């Protein structure tokens, strides 16, 4: 309607050409005076809307290297990518050590079980919390646990058929997919449970191999932890302050397990020909130490040669023993085996010999690192030639 009125007026009184151009120039100038501020204001409002509602919130990947959460430094850009567990000379008084027989982290090698663990209390604030770190914590029932940090504050977590997704992306690392006792497939799992004579546990283990969790989001003070051995998997969300310590590695033994010079010479000779005459006249404690050394050297045939050959005391054959060593026993490096055996038998040479009334059997009592206030018994049996031999399953 306004446009129609302007047209009528134009027909009644048309200005000349110069007046028209001058009016147009003035009109454009007046429009610019109010259009520029309005445009700038509109742009500012649009930018605010985009930041608040269109762009994603500050996700962990956008936060930079670290952030502070309840006084604890958290790294989003770093993660632990190696399954190797270091052996540490623990000389730092701010660190602590503890022996935990928790198989939740077992990847088929008795991981985090074979020796005491060196722990860095979170309150020390020396390090950062990173994805992939193994932590120690206690639950509401004061039960001790080991687990691995998977999800960090503010992240989304989802597990599909054993595969972990963080913020919608597959977690590309060795703990990003399921395994149970080192088995990654149902066939491998079936073999393990068959060899360990525990087929009744197979259905539950198979279910855990395909462990899944629906998508969820962690709050700003929460982490999600998951054990490497998915046999123990459950949805565990911890507050930052629930973490007691970060596991740094195994604590190296202060006193190493060794043979004395005489024992070493006899051991080397026996290793060549397996002739029992080399052992004649030796004390039970020396025999026991050489048996342990054969375990450290990972020589199952030699280890078996230290067992008793008396009828009625043999519990399995050499063939079965070698098969067990290849298929059931954890695949440890020699350094790890020595550490494990040292902590298991480190005080046996200081042990006390007890002879039974039958005069053909006895045991060595000694305190171990696991039970320093309790006596552990190592069983021995004397053969018909008077040579002391190790009983099958000697630790009682």
Per the CB < 8 A criterion, the answer to whether 75 and 152 are in contact is no
Mean per-residue pLDDT over the chain, rounded: 84
Task: Annotate 6-62 with three-state secondary structure.
Answer: HHHHHHHCCCCHHHHHHHHHHHHHHHHHHHHHHHHHHHHHHHHHHHHHHCCCCCHHH
Cα–Cα distance for residue pair 243/129, rounded to 1 Å: 10
Q: How confident is the model at residue 126 (pLDDT cuts 50, 70, 90)?
A: low
Q: Write out the H or E segment, with its range, that includes residue 157.
A: strand 156-160
Which of the 8 DSSP states describes residue 180?
B
Per the CB < 8 A criterion, the answer to whether 100 and 143 are in contact is no
Check pLDDT > 90 for residue 199. Answer: no
* Residue percentage of the chain with pLDDT more than 70: 81
Per the CB < 8 A criterion, the answer to whether 170 and 163 are in contact is yes
DSSP 59-112: -GGGS-SEEEETTEEEEEEEE-------EE----TT-EEE----GGG-SSS-TT
Determine the average pLDDT of the residues in 34-40. 49
φ, ψ of residue 34 in degrees (nearest 5): -105, -20
What pLDDT is attached to residue 59?
A: 44
- CA-wise closest residue to 225 among 145, 111, 120, 127: 145
Per the CB < 8 A criterion, the answer to whether 133 and 146 are in contact is no
| Burial class of residue 392 (count of CB atoms within 10 Å of its CB; 0-12, 13-18, 19+) | middle
Cα–Cα distance for residue pair 361/379, rounded to 1 Å: 8
101 or 266: which carries more pLDDT confidence? 266
What pLDDT is attached to residue 71?
A: 64
What pLDDT is attached to residue 57?
A: 42
Q: How confident is the model at residue 195 (pLDDT cuts 50, 70, 90)?
A: confident
Per the CB < 8 A criterion, the answer to whether 134 and 247 are in contact is yes
Per the CB < 8 A criterion, the answer to whether 258 and 286 are in contact is no
Check pLDDT > 50 for residue 289. Answer: yes
Q: What is the dihedral sign for C-alpha 282, 286, 288, 290? A: negative
Task: Report pLDDT digits (tens) over 155-165.
Answer: 999 999 999 99
Check pLDDT > 70 for residue 250. Answer: yes
What pLDDT is attached to residue 194?
A: 81
What pLDDT is attached to residue 127?
A: 57
Residue 308: C-alpha distances to residues 281, 287, 301, 393, 394 (Å): 16, 11, 13, 11, 10
62: number of Cβ within 10 Å: 10
What pLDDT is attached to residue 42?
A: 55
What pLDDT is attached to residue 26?
A: 47
168 or 74: which carries more pLDDT confidence? 168
**Alpha helices for the chain (secondary structure H):** 2-12, 17-49, 186-195, 202-209, 261-273, 284-296, 300-305, 318-327, 334-345
> By mean pLDDT, which of 93-97, 270-274, 317-321 is the weakest?
93-97
Beta bridge partners of 395: 378
What pLDDT is attached to residue 123?
A: 73
> By mean pLDDT, which of 8-12, 152-156, 381-385 is the weakest?
8-12
- CA-wise closest residue to 137 among 246, 47, 266: 246
Task: Report pLDDT digits (tens) over 138-191.
Answer: 998 889 999 999 999 999 999 999 999 999 999 999 999 999 999 999 999 988
| Burial class of residue 388 (count of CB atoms within 10 Å of its CB; 0-12, 13-18, 19+) | buried
Q: How confident is the model at residue 49 (pLDDT cuts 50, 70, 90)?
A: very low
Check pLDDT > 70 for residue 337. Answer: yes
Check pLDDT > 60 for residue 349. Answer: yes
Cα–Cα distance for residue pair 210/159, rounded to 1 Å: 9
Determine the average pLDDT of the residues in 87-102. 89
């Amino acid at each position: 309607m306004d446009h129609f009125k302007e047209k009528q007026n134009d027909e009644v009184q048309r200005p000349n050409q110069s007046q028209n151009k001058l009016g147009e120039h003035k009109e454009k100038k007046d429009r610019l005076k109010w259009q520029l501020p309005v445009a700038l204001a509109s742009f500012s409002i649009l930018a605010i809307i985009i930041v608040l509602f269109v762009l994603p919130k500050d996700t962990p990947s956008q936060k930079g290297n670290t952030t502070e959460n309840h006084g604890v430094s958290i790294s989003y850009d770093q993660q632990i990518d190696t399954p190797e567990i270091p052996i540490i000379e623990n000389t730092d008084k701010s660190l602590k050590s503890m022996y935990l027989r928790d198989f939740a982290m077992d990847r088929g090698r008795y991981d985090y079980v074979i020796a005491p663990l060196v722990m860095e209390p979170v309150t020390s604030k020396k390090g950062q919390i990173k994805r992939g770190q193994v932590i120690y914590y206690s639950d509401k029932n004061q039960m001790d646990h080991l687990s691995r940090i998977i999800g960090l504050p503010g992240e989304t977590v989802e597990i599909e058929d054993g595969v972990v997704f963080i913020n919608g992306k597959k977690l590309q690392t060795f703990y990003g997919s399921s395994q149970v006792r080192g088995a990654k497939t149902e066939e491998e799992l079936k073999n393990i449970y068959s060899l360990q004579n525990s087929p009744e546990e197979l259905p539950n283990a198979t279910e855990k191999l395909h462990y899944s969790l629906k998508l969820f989001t962690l709050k700003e003070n929460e982490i999600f932890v998951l054990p490497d051995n998915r046999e123990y998997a459950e949805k565990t969300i911890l507050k930052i302050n629930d973490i007691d310590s970060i596991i740094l590695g195994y604590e190296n033994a202060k006193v190493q397990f060794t043979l004395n010079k005489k024992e070493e010479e006899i051991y080397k000779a026996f290793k060549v020909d397996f002739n029992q005459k080399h052992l004649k006249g030796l004390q039970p404690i020396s025999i026991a130490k050489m048996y342990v050394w054969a375990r450290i050297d990972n020589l199952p045939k030699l280890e078996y040669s230290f067992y008793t050959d008396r009828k009625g005391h043999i519990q399995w054959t050499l063939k079965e023993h070698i098969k067990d060593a290849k298929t059931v026993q954890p695949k440890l490096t020699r350094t790890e085996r020595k550490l494990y055996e040292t902590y298991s038998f480190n005080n046996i040479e200081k042990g006390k010999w007890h002879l039974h009334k039958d005069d053909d059997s006895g045991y060595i009592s000694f305190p171990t690192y696991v039970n320093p206030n309790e006596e552990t018994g190592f069983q021995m049996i004397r053969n018909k030639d008077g040579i002391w031999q190790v009983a099958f399953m000697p630790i009682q």
